[in-house]
Amino acid sequence: MMLNVCIYLLTQHMKIHVLSLGTTLAAVLVLLIQSVSGELSPYWLVTLAGIIIAGLLEHVYAVRVGLDVLLLKHLQQEGLDIDTVIADIDASLVALRLRRSARFDTGLAQRLPGCLGLLKIQAGLTFLQFVIMFAAVAFLASGN
């Protein structure tokens, strides 16, 4: 049951990603327009750069969460012994030197909170984009 709930929550990452992607693209567009017009103040450069950097980081987390979703769905559909498959994946990652140690004591129950933690970071980065954007609009509305 916990696996089903986790998969459902993780599949929502695309909604977060679409919000972030739209905000990032809008910031890039404003940055390009302001750069061409020559009216780009340091304040706006830092503000737009903050939105864009947060958006790029969010994209990395969206890809990672998407990989988790695909892996968990595959494990669920195939009806495999999930803890055995996870141990095999760990061994492969160690053999390929993509993971430092061979800690095989972490099963699915210990990994699901980590997956959800990545989703929280992704959502937090999107939230940060909106905070920066709303702060910039409030600054603009105040007449500065």
Q: What is the pLDDT of residues 19-29, one digit of tens each?
A: 999 999 999 99
Domain count, the chain: 1
- List the single range of 81-85, 94-98, 100-104, 106-110 with lowest mean pLDDT: 100-104
**130 has pLDDT over 70:** yes
| Residue 118 resides in a domain | yes
In angstroms, the CA 27 to CA 3 distance is 37
In angstroms, the CA 69 to CA 12 distance is 10
Taking a C-beta distance cutoff of 8 angstroms, is the pair 82, 111 a contact?
Answer: no
| Residue 91 resides in a domain | yes
Q: Which pLDDT tens digit goes with each residue over 28-44?
A: 999 999 989 988 888 88
Give the residue numbers spanning the domain of 76.
Answer: 2-34+44-139
What pLDDT does 105 receive? 62
In angstroms, the CA 71 to CA 122 distance is 18
